[in-house]
Amino acid sequence: MMDKKFILFWATLTVSMSAHAQQQKTDTLATANAEGDDRNVMLNAADSYKPREIQIGLPSEDVNVYENGLPVVYSSSVHKLSAHWRNNASLKSTSLMSPSESAIVTGNIAYAVNTESQLGISSKAFQGSVNWHGNHYGLNTFDINLNGRIAPNWFWTASMYQNFDPGTQKQRYTDFADRTQIFHAGVTRVFNGGRGKATLLYKYSYSKNPGSFNNQGPFIYNEDGSVSEFQGFKLGRYSYVPNGGHLPYYDVTTGQARTWNFQEAMDNHANELAFLFENTFNKGWKWTLDAKYMDAPRANNVDFGGSTISNVQNGVLDNYLLTTDAEGQKPYTGYVEGRRTWIHLGQVRSFMLTSELANQLGHHKLRIGINEWFYHLNYNSSSFQWYGTVCEYPAILYGNYYNSFTGTTARTQTYDFNEISSEYTQGSENKLAFYLTDTWQVTPKFRLLYGARLEYYRMSADRIAIGRFDGFYVGGKDAGGNTVAPANVTKNELNYAATVQGTYALTPHCGFQADATMVTRYPRISDYAGTGPTDEQYKRVTIPLLRGGLYYRNSWLDLTSMITYIAKSNNIDQQNLTNPGTSESKTVLLIYNIHTLGWTTSAEMDPFKGFHLHALFTWQKPQYSNYNASVTFNNGNTMSVNADKMIVKEIPQILIEFDPSYQLSKSVRVWSSFRYFGKTYANLQEAFYFNGHWETFGGVNWQVNKRLSVGADVVNIFNVSGAKGTINGTELVTKDEAKKYAGYIMSGNYLRPFTVEFTASLKF
C-alpha cells in the first residue's frame, strides 16, 4: 500500500558475512550466529522497533520476520510488523535466514529474521527475566518473561511487553510516539522421552505508532547533495506535525463526511492463537507442525506526505486565499507546504500452517515441507490535502476550496478528497506450497545443496479499476458518468522457486562457492488496492539471483568475496507524480524491471583474544529498466517520467560496515557498529541526491553477576543530522532542471538523532 516505499526490509545487494560464514560451516540451507545477527539486524538507524534493512539489490516486497517458523504478519502492507512483534523477552533465540532458504520455504527471496519463542522447558520449577530499556528522551520499556514447570513434562510461559516512547520530538497531540503492549501466554507438553513437544501459545498486541506521520521535516537542499537547516528547524528534534485538531475528510467507501483527529486512526490490535508441534521418530525422522490463526480487527495507520514549499504574500497562492482563521480575515504571509494525508483502515485475518519432515540419510540431509497460508483483507484508505506553515508545530491554514462532494466553495482546512492514491480492496489470497531441500556431501571437498518449491496461488479481490479523482468514493460517478463500483478479480496460478548451491574446498582453508536461485510469483492482493494491473498488464514476476566467489578461512580470519547479480521483472508500483512547483499530484500505476550487478567482500576476524571484527564492503549498481510513465494535469499540461537505466532511488552504490567488539574482561564487553551508505538518489530521474553518510552505534555491556547485567548504548555517535529517502514533490524533475532547485526549501525524512540508551536485565 502507501507504505511500500521500496525500503520494506531488504533493498540492495549486501551479502551479510554472518550468513555466508555459517553457510560454509554448516550443512543446512542457512542459519546464522544468533548473537551476532541479533546485534546487527536489530540496530536500525531509521526505526528502533524494526530489524534493519539487509540489502540484496532490490526493493523488497515485504518485511520478513518469522516467529516459530511462521510469518509474524502475513503481509505488512496493512498490518505493520512493529504493531505485532518486538524483539523482547518472549523470544528464546534470533537467527538469520538466507535469501536462498527464504525462497524455498516461503516463496520470497530476501534475508529474513527467524525467531523462536521462550517455552519455559527447563528443570527449574520457576524462572524468569525482567528487562528495562530507556533513553535520555524519556523512553521507558518494560519487558518481562516468567516460565517454569507445572508438573512432570508440563511447562508454562508468560510474557509482557510495555513500551512508553515519547520520541525524540515533543509532540503536542499525544504523550507517546509509540505506545505498544504485547502479551504472550503458553503451555507445553513434552512427551516421547523428551523427543517430542506440543505447545499452545496465545498472543495479544495493541499498538499506537504514528509511523511516517512523525518522521518528516523541512530543509534547504544544496546543489552538492547536502542539506542545511531551514530557519533553525532541527531534523529529528523538531516536530513537523501540527498541534492537533479535527480535520474533515470523506470516507472513500461511503462518501460520507468524517472527522479525523491526530489521536485516531493509528490503533492496531490483534489476537493470535498458535499450535506448535514436533516429534523425532525412530531412525531420526523429525516432524514439525506449526500453525496459527490471527485476527486483527483494527490494522490502521496514517501517512503524511508533502509537495512544493512556496513563499506566499498576504495569503495569495494560485487561486487560493490562505488564512489563519476560518472567516478569511487574517491572510498568512510566509512559507507554506502542500501537505497530504492518507487514513488507512484495515481488518486482517490469517491462518498459516507449515509442516516439515527432516532427516540425515547418509550423505544427504533432507527436508520436505508444506505451507498452507490463507489471508483475508478488508482495507481502504481515504486521502485529502491541506496547506501548513513551514515551521515547528505548523499551523493548518484555511483556504477557499471547492468541495466536489457538496458542489460548493467554502473556507475549510482540507480539500481534494480521495484523488491521490485512495485505495480499496476486499478479498483473500491462499498459498498452498510443497518444497524440498537436500544438502548432499558429494565428497569430503564438495558439498551440493539444491531445493525446489511449487506453489498453487489463488487470489480473489474486489478492486476499483476507475482512476481516482477529486470526490472519488464507492457509489459515486466519474466525469464520464461511470459508477465507482468494486469488481472481482480472481486468479489461479502456479508459482515456483528453485535453488542450487555448491561449495568446493581447494584446500582446508580456501575454496569456491556459488549459488543460483530463481523465484516467480504473480501480483498479490495488495497490488489491487489501487486501480490494479489490467489483464494485459498481469504478468509473472521473475526474480533470479546468481552469486559466485571465493572464501578463505583460518584460525582467526573468515573471508568471502562474491560477485552477485539479481533482477526483478514486472515490478508493480503505484507512484504519485507531482506537477513541479505546485501541490497538484496524480497517481499512476507503473510496471517496470530492476537489475543489479555487484561485488561484496566480507570478513569475520579474531586477531587476538577478546577482539572480534566484522567488516564488509559492497559495490553495486541497481538500475531501472522500462520505467516510463506520463500524466496529464488539470491545466492540460502532460509530463513524462523516464527513469530507464537510472539508479534506483534510495539505494546506495557503496556500502561499508565495521562492527568491532572487545571483551575487556570476563564481565565487560564494548562494541560498536559503523555503517557507511554512499550517495543515494532522492528522486526518480537522478536530479537530486543525498551525500553518503555514516550510521553509528556503540555501547558497553557489564555482566554484574550471574543474574544482573546492565548496558549503555549510543545511537548516532557523531550526531550526524540530515535528510534521507526521497524529496517530496520532485518525481518529475529532471537532471537538466535540477540546478535551478539549488537552495530550494524542500521536505523529506531524516536520520535518528543522537540518542543515549540504557538497559538493565535481571534473570532469576
Between CA 481 and CA 173 the distance in angstroms is: 41
**Percentage of the chain modeled with pLDDT above 90:** 70
Q: What distance lies between CA 614 and its chain's CA centroid? A: 24
Query: Which residues does 439 contact at the CB level (< 8 Å), separation at least 6?
Result: 27, 28, 29, 364, 365, 447, 448, 449
Between CA 39 and CA 135 the distance in angstroms is: 18
Region of poorest pLDDT, from 40-44, 242-246, 491-495: 40-44
Please give the C-alpha separations between residue 591 and each of 460, 474, 626, in angstroms, as whole numbers.
Answer: 21, 26, 8
Q: To the nearest whole number, what is the mean pLDDT of the chain?
A: 88
Beta-ladder partners of 247: 260
pLDDT band at 382 (very low <50, low <70, confident <90, very high): very high
Helix (H, G, I), strand (E, B) or coil at 587: strand
At 60 the pLDDT is 57
Between CA 377 and CA 348 the distance in angstroms is: 5
Q: Is 487:462 a contact under the CB 8 Å cutoff?
A: yes
Based on its alpha-carbon atoms, the radius of gyration of the chain, rounded to whole angstroms, reads 26
Whether 284 shows a pLDDT value over 50: the answer reads yes
At 51 the pLDDT is 52
Shortest CA distance to 764 belongs to which of 136, 261, 131, 322? 131
pTM for the whole thing? 0.88
Between CA 399 and CA 672 the distance in angstroms is: 51
Dump pLDDT digits (tens) for 51-92: 545 555 565 556 579 999 999 999 988 999 999 999 999 999
pLDDT, greater one: 542 or 216:
542
Beta-ladder partners of 659: 614
Whether 201 shows a pLDDT value over 80: the answer reads yes
Residue 755, C-alpha cell as written in the block: 540518542
pLDDT, greater one: 113 or 485:
485
Q: Is 64:113 a contact under the CB 8 Å cutoff?
A: yes
Query: What is the phi/psi pair of residue 82, to 5°?
Result: -70, -10
pLDDT band at 721 (very low <50, low <70, confident <90, very high): confident
Region of poorest pLDDT, from 11-25, 51-65, 559-573: 11-25
At 54 the pLDDT is 53
Burial code (b: 16+ CB inside 10 Å, e: under 16) for 168-196 equals bbebebbebbbbbebebbbbbebeeeeeb
Burial code (b: 16+ CB inside 10 Å, e: under 16) for 578-600 equals bbbebbbbbbbbbbbbbbbbbbb
What is the average per-residue pLDDT within 199-214? 88
Dump pLDDT digits (tens) for 253-262: 999 999 988 7
**SS3 sequence, 224-290?**
CCCEECECCECCCCCCCCCCCCEEEEECCCCCCEEEEECCCCCEEEEEEEEEEEEEECHHHCEEEEE
Between CA 81 and CA 381 the distance in angstroms is: 19
Between CA 331 and CA 321 the distance in angstroms is: 7
Between CA 189 and CA 304 the distance in angstroms is: 48
Q: Is 676:654 a contact under the CB 8 Å cutoff?
A: yes
What is the average per-residue pLDDT within 114-135? 93
Query: Which residues does 665 contact at the CB level (< 8 Å), separation at least 6?
Result: none
pLDDT band at 39 (very low <50, low <70, confident <90, very high): very low
Could you give the count of Cα atoms lying within 13 Å of 122 in the half-sphere of its Cβ?
14
- A 10 A CB-CB count for 494 gives 11
Between CA 618 and CA 634 the distance in angstroms is: 45
Helix (H, G, I), strand (E, B) or coil at 101: helix
At 18 the pLDDT is 32
Whether 739 shows a pLDDT value over 50: the answer reads yes
Between CA 599 and CA 616 the distance in angstroms is: 11
**SS3 sequence, 528-551?**
HCCCCCCCCCCCCEEEEEEEEEEE
What is the average per-residue pLDDT within 232-248? 89
Q: Which helix (H) or strand (E) holds 160?
A: strand 154-165
